[in-house]
Structure 1
Amino acid sequence: MCGIIAILRRPATRIVPSSDEVLAVVATGVDRLHDVLGNSPVILSDTTLLDAAASFEDADLLLSGAPGLLALMRDPDLAGRIEAILADVSPLVCRIESALEDQDGTAADMEEANAALVRLRDAVWAVKRDRLDTRDGVASLSTSGTPSDAGLVVLLSVQQALSAIDRLEVRGRDSAGLQVTVWNHGIDSDDPSLNARLHDPLHRSGSVRLLDFDGVTGGALAFVVKEAAEIGELGDNTAALRSALADDDLLLRALSAPTVEGSVLGHTRWASVGLISEPNAHPVDSMRADGLAEPLVTAVQNGDVDNHTDLVVTEDLSVAPEITTDAKVVPALCAAQLAAGHERLEAFRRTVSAFEGSLAIGAVTGDAPDRLLLALRGSGQGLYVGLAEDAFVVASEPYGVVELTADFVRMDGETPADPDDPGASRGQIVELDGALAGTLQGISRRSYDGRDLPVGDKDVARAEITTRDIDRGDYAHFLLKEISESPASVRATLRGRLVGP
């Protein structure tokens, strides 16, 4: 199995919170925990514990998204001050748990108390690991440059994509790649340091592609970093990608532009077709081996295109011999459809409809880096469109989206739009509009045979997991995490259910 991640963001619609506002909310949560312990014995039916959880959830919301990141970056002391306040939380929670275990109560009251504790732990984890650690991750990506506020927001998407790849690696990790596309970047298309990186036909790590966006040649730049290794540990790939991005002076120059924007498309791979190599790592692009010019398309893919060898021949797709992954046919065929005169969404629909096999695909065309194309067909694959604050986050598993949002639209690759014509109408195609990122209005959905499938509130589901449930944390492997945390889980499950002699 493989993993797909993509993040498409628009400028923030919320103002940056002040440090005092954030600190006050965090401190209120700690005060409520002290209030819980002020009752002797602890009153199980009291709502104070829920109030504490709600305060930390409010802090998480304040620190989320672009406004939260900028609050943390503009005040270098804010993260440390938050951590100092949160230092009291763990011992307070331990005292509350001990107090709960020492008293009698109804099963219903105990369940409510346990649920409140879970909410509390989830919220505190989110503040510390999803917000403060994200700030540190963004800072580590910009050590050799000075990004503008807008550039920091692009790096926020990069950091969150790397974090998602870390979680998705449980599905496959022999290679990984990330494409960072930026526009309003201020880099001249004749810049020597840019031109030196434009012509790698194998699209290896460090390659840059020039996009004709907004009517301007070079109006957008697509930077790609990749890592491929047969042997390694979880986290090695993202560490390599992070290092390559942090050392990319050209990218950091682009991110210093005051109005720069960007999107991210990434993948973690478990090779089933093709060697483990940088040319085979996704994203792959549409550049032809014979040098003929065609529109630029880049793509990532989960699953196998069973008829890819036939398509290379019948569609005259010129593929370099070093590229042996079946995923190459996705951007190559889509580029051919664009060159034939089809508009973007129709070209993509014709492309994915030609494939045999169970597939999940994400793609970006060079003329519209502020849009994302998705396709899902068959069983065994998944794509989830997360509705975050001013952002879409797309992942092949729900745990790829939950750092940004609990709300998502699940694509359906199996139910036919027309039961009388299941072969042609099975599968869904989605186009995401970055100008409306994070909203249902920004999602355009249709079936594989081109029927419109409107998206509404009924399509929105809510994740029942949080990053605390699925994050590997400081453990080397997920199994070690499960083993280490199991005693506490059993204890929490049995709390209030055992009666002494």
Structure 2
Amino acid sequence: MVGHLFGYEAALAIDALARPLREAREVVEHAVERGGDANKLLEKIRTELGAPATRFTDALATGNYDGNLEASTAVRIVTMLRDTLASDPVQAYQRSSGKIASPELLLDDLTSALTRGVDELTRPVDAIKHQAKTVTVGISRSDEGLFDRKLVKSLLEAGVARERLSYRVLKIVADLDAAVSAVTGFTRYQIEGDIAGGSATIAIVDRGGMSKNLTSRVDRNSQLVGTKRRVASDQEVLVARGRSDNRTVIMVPETKGGQTTGITLLHVMFHDRLPATAMRAVLQGYDRRYDRLVDWVTETEGSFREDRLAEVSVADLLILPISDMADHWRPTK
């Protein structure tokens, strides 16, 4: 009898170790039950996940889970918590997992990892496992409507494989769609070699539209340099204007397994002006330009008049340095 009670108490102690994981899982499940946009849902989960995540990692570091939690399970949980709490969770998850990530997939895998940990720790006291919920239920799909945007369609029609576009890149391109009046051509580049080490090369693999009639530096020099190297290194979408020809372009990185494998350059024409609310949405989606512009203007002027966004060139708002754009908000003499 004494041995039985001791075993039961020991099982309860092991079961108590699952509490931080249960709490973390409840954060996800309660948020999902309320439903809504996946990106906003992920932001809310991140703000509430920190406390149980810290309790788990602290206990893990002190050896409390030794012999009770499989090492592979612990690694998986730590990785998923780290990615979810990163400043850019979806991008962090994509880089660590090698998957084409989305908020839904991230939350599904996080819930699965937490459930696996809870199951291992509660098995001694309760053999009935908690079934992980599919967290996408009740969530508006994060990529819903993205593929309907003309700019995204142009990218895919140029030959870019969907799996080479990270969720972050896809969303930025979709957010830029409202600013673009026409796509006039494209150039697709293949990148090989060590980008960080400076030995990477670039080659044109396909062209379309007006791009067929243009000469390219890449035809003469295959070394990856300049803005294309920046795009390949940062794996970020870049809106730019040619120094010599004044043409406006959008450079989109293509990646596989965390490595940049190519760049698709879209030749575009921007609308001259947009309504202030539409322009704000575009700037919020690209390079945090809205927040940066507001910060710069309010630093000197004290307030920011959003209506003036409708008075400034769309291309300039997307391309010129923020410091130059802030001059439009200075009082006229």
TM over 0.5: no
Looking at secondary structure, tell me which structure has more helix per residue: 2
User: TM-score, normalized by length of structure 1?
Assistant: 0.21
User: TM-score, normalized by length of structure 2?
Assistant: 0.29
Higher relative contact order, structure no. (Cα contacts within 8 Å, ≥ 6 residues apart) = 1
